[in-house]
Structure 1
């Protein structure tokens, strides 16, 4: 009977492959159900298990296609998919000899022959099945790595930094400018699909291990330390619900090759200096790795020119406030880390990590100011000139540690993960400004502020995966996040006699505590004979927030965050996918802090402790195609809708009174839940191997953004980001590359953000049997400044701005690798 059902199902599947009728598809479902019910009662129940691994990166290939053939039959006996961890189990197999194939779009098909299921070999474990990315091999040369620079997987896009030449000597921020769907402005602010609410992870852990300022941290991580960047625009239920834009996971380098190996990277440039050292020791059941890296961003000058007009209809007057500020800026920092991996048994692994991060930024400023008041008829009532001298120093020391236990079981795909991670950062922030008036007989005024604080976060999580049936598994987990921020501000005001006295109204302490308790259930599935693969899940998070503000009670917040992702493989090299996610953006510490920042008395900022979470819904539809010559293309569209949108709202005050003091012509910026924001976008990215020597990559992001506020006109507009990367092999071991990017201006709520363009040229020569390399890189060599024009507006005022920043740079890089650089199977190229 089993043979009878098998023959019928094979004949129907042939009809499906020939795309004969819809009836064949329905009959397949019916006969598959009857067949499986009958076959399950068979006394011959063989099993085949295995795990699909990328032969280059040594990572699991999620949802790879598995086909099992009986010898002599050309149509699959069973076709299914691996789970999200690359594992698969084929059950209920009758005795016989089989052939198994494994593949995924972007990979070559791997075939395992002569698999015997019999009375003595009922359970067959194939172990790790290594499949190789489709790659166009250049003759007589291997460039950097066999890893393609872009990989599109079911739930994420992977950008392999080791294949990127123009990022040499740069930082993580420079690398992110190359990543599809990601935009970075010249100050290092990162957006994903037009949304700045990005959740950053480092090696899969919260980026809090790098302290409180992720923008500063990204600009102190050398590009030479990064292995790859994973962009997850529609995260599953396993991930924290925070971050309406999605997740960017930065994976640092980790060589798992047995033996001793390491690398040294040094770069020197007119704008930035980098250096890093890596050392790895790996034995049979244990491994140790350590690194030290640091960089120094040399003085770069920033020039800001602002022209603000304000109106007072009651007095029939206008005020014009002109500013021109010169701001030299510098940043330096270092990171170091240690990792110990112990394979206690073949199924028990313990990983311990310790890391430190140190950042210092220094900024001084000299601002020329002119404040004019005049009637609408043009008669000048007053004209006050002044000069403000300011300084800002920021320092951060962050420590982090983690302990991870992973348990695998005899049943393939079943595993348990327990992770404890904690970070502690100590910050110092000093600001000062003194204003000297050039006319009018006004006394000098000034303020200085010392703001130390610390941030402690502890994460504890437990994750369990259970393969329930062929093509279906369940994952569940629990997590606790404990965050505690303590901050104290001491502010002094300048007296007429030139001394400073404490300002009680601006001297305060703000303690903030947030606990998050979460749980989730997620499934990975393969339906209709591998017609659809996907993930679905739901996450619950309870947030309990407290502060020491008198009279302020922040209510407990409960959210349910569902997600769905489905993928259909049109063939082995192309697929389409659809995804929906529900995510939130919690207000951070600065958004909630109600105390005034009055370092610039004409531009004051404050927070709102009763802010609500921003709620985000995102829908995505994407198409991916890879080609045999290592070319690929991705086309995606998305729609996101955020409610309770957290924005900074600016209001102009002719006179603003705070703590008994009057401030004149003030723009007050306050965090608020302002209406909703809608983003519709299209992303086109791809790479093309034009010839053996020439490769092109491009990424184009088109956005339409709309901000809607009740009672006010909608604000928004069209914007774009486009880049092009050209790589050319001049000779064996000599490569040249050019990269250019354009970010258009963007209209946000109350302001128009400026656009920018950056272009980079690089060349790299490999030496000493490709164990060493020398490179030269230049950025914006023909432009001293990046000129950025922007504007802001609100009730009773308008403002135009010109910002000029130095980005021009010339530099060299040196790198050297030592020790054993090849794995036993030879898949990782030593000559890089």
Structure 2
């Protein structure tokens, strides 16, 4: 990849000599006045596509009545403005090419005197919006969000899949960076999934799927970034909302939430609280075949089925204070306390080479997991002049996470008849994250723009686990499983991004450097490691407007995925008497090189082809355990290399004025190369995912959604995964003068999303079927109260994005 880096640096230098660059695209500017000609503050201003009136972006007018839409792609648009007490008004259609567009003043009229007749403006925000480098999922726009969790919303989003181990993938690639309000979630895998299950969809405003992150973001996330933005009430005065929902599948699921906001002059105080109780059914059946020297030696069958009860309390509180016209100061506290209890009994039978029964036993697997966490963010935003051309933002983050896991695995044996055993585990872990970051933006004449920033973070993790065996009434410490693991890490980063528009060509080039110093200490086993390395992460984005209807863009980037803290943690968590999960302290970071070419037609039909190469890819595997005795371990390993070739197509369709379709196809081929458990791997398989969302405007305040997704047969490392999919339907009714919303939905109507897969090595083959509680009917009611006058929301991001995702990761 030295050629890749050299090419990039030659290109970067050729921009040269401090050419300060601009945003990707021109701006649309204007202002809003009332009938008397006075400026209107806090008006809702929307940019619409002229061809079908679809809302592209939404902003608010400021204290001088002005608004601005930045980086608008070429095309034809119109702008509408609205405010409580006035009718919606709009501009005439206009065209955007390569220059800023200043529109005539929009003059609002008293409500009832004027109605729009030229076009029908969509009252409901579109479920999906597309920008240059991302897809925006407006969660609250769909009735399917009622009673759902953030993980369920993600699993139904275009190009997003969740595998049997709860690993997220974007367009078929794992290695996704997840942010919540700009802060990286400290987990991956099952622990990230548990957190997203405890975050109700009714607290989420939107989700951004970013496939080409600029240098401003941490270099992590080789597959892209999933950015979750929580709701914030922007109305003046005192207001809020209350939500309650109940769903039923195999078991009941209750969700409730309250938000409050008080905004007056320079002060804005806000807070929210959510309480969820979710009872989830899971079923896992396993068949394993064992070999030695290519000879079949026996097999085993397992059946696990049970219930997990999640009780979560999430809260968020903060304030914004305007120190001056140019300076804003904010503080936010986020917290979550998740308490999960699972009872999943297991039945196992083992057989010899001739099929004779060798053993039969039953395990009562009772697990408890409590994960309290709290994070505080201090943020500052300062403009050096009244135009906002020079702006500084800074964040300080403090976060504390705890993990308390109890496990009791009681096993009784019927063949042969031997004394029962009890394996008990008690894990206690703590994680502290401190980070600071600052970003500076400088807009220069001739639509030029320069960005830069720094960040540093410190992570301290301490985990202690004690395992004991109860045999014939005597408790004995299991020294082979008991352990103590400590991990310390410091990452220091800096970046610079340069943008320039030359006629119809937009150029963005960025360079990020990260220094990593890490140390892991395994007290028992003495399996310590130290890492100290510096890496450069270049990125380039080019966009050429070919005509009024055609745009072409290309992006190149180098990214890194460091192992999460729990992926490195060698502790064990037992699934049954012969299967356990364990981290791997020997993991190395994976590095990826990515290129993507995108064509846009009429600003809505998007086709992308992409390629990425990943060195030392980290994959989740289930393989024979070192202990032998027909045991299996679920863990993470580095392979040698993987190559990904992808085709993505976005096809929105408007069959009628009351029916719109949003279709997304991802077709890809991913090949893995490596060796594991005595087995060489050099294989791939063409695969695809299809996601289709249909939105119906039924009248009288009713809307409906019908969504379907399908994932074809695919190969991921040593895992051969069978097809699966689901169909979901939802209804939504606006009532009580738009202060109330009723949502009804049913997910996975035909119960077609079980997970079937096979994992095969030279001396081991495993087939497993996994089914969860995915067919659920839900009813939800939301009521909003208080003042309806809006005000613009302000940035609130944090600096601990990278570390907070990696803090978990089982």
Same fold (TM over 0.5): yes
Offset of 1:406 from its aligned partner? Answer: 0.7
The question of 1:500 aligning with 2:475 is answered: yes
From 732, 743, 750, the counterpart of 2:700: 732
- Are the counterparts in 2 of residues 474 and 524 from structure 1 also a CA contact under 8 Å? yes
Structure-1 residue corresponding to 2:765 = 798
The question of 1:683 aligning with 2:656 is answered: no
Offset of 1:212 from its aligned partner? Answer: 9.7
Structure-2 residue corresponding to 1:671 = 636
From 184, 209, 215, the counterpart of 1:206: 184
Secondary structure in 1 matching 2:531: coil
The question of 1:700 aligning with 2:668 is answered: no
Offset of 1:597 from its aligned partner? Answer: 4.6
Offset of 1:189 from its aligned partner? Answer: 3.4
Offset of 1:522 from its aligned partner? Answer: 0.9
From 329, 347, 352, the counterpart of 1:350: 329
The question of 1:634 aligning with 2:614 is answered: no
From 340, 355, 358, the counterpart of 1:383: 358
Take 1:164 and 1:438, find their aligned partners in 2: how far apart are those partners? 52
Offset of 1:738 from its aligned partner? Answer: 1.4
- Aligned pairs for 1:234-383 (under 5 A) are 234-271=212-249, 272-298=253-279, 300-313=280-293, 318-374=297-353, 378=354, 380=356, 383=358
Q: Encode CA deviations 1:387-423: one digit per residue, 9 max, x unaligned.
A: 1111111111110111111110226421111111121
The question of 1:158 aligning with 2:136 is answered: yes
Secondary structure in 2 matching 1:690: strand
The question of 1:57 aligning with 2:58 is answered: yes
Offset of 1:781 from its aligned partner? Answer: 3.8
Q: Encode CA deviations 1:8-33: one digit per residue, 9 max, x unaligned.
A: xxxxxxxxxxxxxxxxxxxxxxxxxx
Secondary structure in 1 matching 2:202: helix
The question of 1:643 aligning with 2:620 is answered: no
Offset of 1:707 from its aligned partner? Answer: 0.5
Take 2:509 and 2:663, find their aligned partners in 1: how far apart are those partners? 32
Q: Which moved more, 1:724-733 or 1:182-191?
A: 182-191
The question of 1:812 aligning with 2:740 is answered: no
The question of 1:652 aligning with 2:624 is answered: yes
Secondary structure in 2 matching 1:704: strand
Structure-2 residue corresponding to 1:392 = 367
Offset of 1:492 from its aligned partner? Answer: 0.2
From 488, 491, 509, the counterpart of 2:464: 488
**1:106/1:444 Cα in 2 relative to 1: closer, same or farther (>3 Å)?**
farther
- Are the counterparts in 2 of residues 209 and 424 from structure 1 also a CA contact under 8 Å? no
Offset of 1:248 from its aligned partner? Answer: 1.0
From 452, 463, 470, the counterpart of 2:428: 452
The question of 1:603 aligning with 2:583 is answered: no
Offset of 1:141 from its aligned partner? Answer: 8.7
The question of 1:438 aligning with 2:417 is answered: no
Secondary structure in 2 matching 1:665: coil
Structure-2 residue corresponding to 1:722 = 690
**1:51/1:237 Cα in 2 relative to 1: closer, same or farther (>3 Å)?**
farther
From 702, 709, 714, the counterpart of 1:741: 709
RMSD of aligned Cα (Å): 3.3
The question of 1:538 aligning with 2:511 is answered: yes
**1:446/1:535 Cα in 2 relative to 1: closer, same or farther (>3 Å)?**
same
The higher radius of gyration belongs to 1
Take 1:484 and 1:254, find their aligned partners in 2: how far apart are those partners? 31
- Are the counterparts in 1 of residues 389 and 444 from structure 2 also a CA contact under 8 Å? no
- Are the counterparts in 2 of residues 238 and 477 from structure 1 also a CA contact under 8 Å? yes
- Are the counterparts in 2 of residues 532 and 568 from structure 1 also a CA contact under 8 Å? yes
**1:140/1:501 Cα in 2 relative to 1: closer, same or farther (>3 Å)?**
farther
Offset of 1:323 from its aligned partner? Answer: 0.9
Q: Encode CA deviations 1:93-143: one digit per residue, 9 max, x unaligned.
A: xxxxxxx99876999975248xxxxxxxxxxxx9xxxxxxxxx99999976
Structure-1 residue corresponding to 2:494 = 519
Structure-2 residue corresponding to 1:90 = none
Q: TM-score, normalised by structure 2?
A: 0.81
**1:601/1:342 Cα in 2 relative to 1: closer, same or farther (>3 Å)?**
same
From 519, 541, 553, the counterpart of 1:577: 553
The question of 1:111 aligning with 2:103 is answered: yes
Take 1:209 and 1:607, find their aligned partners in 2: how far apart are those partners? 13
**1:109/1:62 Cα in 2 relative to 1: closer, same or farther (>3 Å)?**
closer
From 174, 179, 183, the counterpart of 1:196: 174
Take 1:652 and 1:210, find their aligned partners in 2: how far apart are those partners? 23
Take 1:787 and 1:137, find their aligned partners in 2: how far apart are those partners? 49
Higher relative contact order (CA 8 A, sep 6+): 2
> Structure 2 unaligned runs (5+)?
1-26, 32-44, 48-56, 61-67, 76-91, 107-114, 793-810
Q: Encode CA deviations 1:661-695: one digit per residue, 9 max, x unaligned.
A: xx611224443321111111111223323222112
- Are the counterparts in 1 of residues 494 and 513 from structure 2 also a CA contact under 8 Å? yes
Take 2:498 and 2:317, find their aligned partners in 1: how far apart are those partners? 34
Structure-1 residue corresponding to 2:126 = 148
Q: Which moved more, 1:617-626 or 1:203-212?
A: 203-212
Q: Which moved more, 1:176-185 or 1:501-510?
A: 176-185
**1:194/1:347 Cα in 2 relative to 1: closer, same or farther (>3 Å)?**
same
Structure-1 residue corresponding to 2:51 = none
Q: Encode CA deviations 1:348-368: one digit per residue, 9 max, x unaligned.
A: 011111111111222212211
Take 2:641 and 2:212, find their aligned partners in 1: how far apart are those partners? 20
Q: TM-score, normalised by structure 1?
A: 0.79
The question of 1:712 aligning with 2:677 is answered: no
Take 1:289 and 1:729, find their aligned partners in 2: how far apart are those partners? 33
Secondary structure in 2 matching 1:590: helix
Take 1:680 and 1:806, find their aligned partners in 2: how far apart are those partners? 33
- Are the counterparts in 1 of residues 28 and 70 from structure 2 also a CA contact under 8 Å? no
- Are the counterparts in 2 of residues 745 and 754 from structure 1 also a CA contact under 8 Å? yes
Take 1:138 and 1:202, find their aligned partners in 2: how far apart are those partners? 40
Structure-1 residue corresponding to 2:20 = none
Take 2:466 and 2:104, find their aligned partners in 1: how far apart are those partners? 70
Take 2:203 and 2:499, find their aligned partners in 1: how far apart are those partners? 33
The question of 1:772 aligning with 2:737 is answered: no
Take 1:808 and 1:503, find their aligned partners in 2: how far apart are those partners? 41
Q: Which moved more, 1:238-247 or 1:50-59?
A: 50-59
Secondary structure in 1 matching 2:629: strand
**1:139/1:491 Cα in 2 relative to 1: closer, same or farther (>3 Å)?**
farther
Offset of 1:243 from its aligned partner? Answer: 1.5
From 455, 458, 462, the counterpart of 2:438: 462
- Are the counterparts in 2 of residues 622 and 635 from structure 1 also a CA contact under 8 Å? yes
Offset of 1:157 from its aligned partner? Answer: 2.3
Take 1:224 and 1:360, find their aligned partners in 2: how far apart are those partners? 20
Offset of 1:199 from its aligned partner? Answer: 0.7
Offset of 1:716 from its aligned partner? Answer: 1.7
Take 1:511 and 1:405, find their aligned partners in 2: how far apart are those partners? 33
Size of the aligned set, in residue pairs, is: 704
- Aligned pairs for 1:121-140 (under 5 A) are none
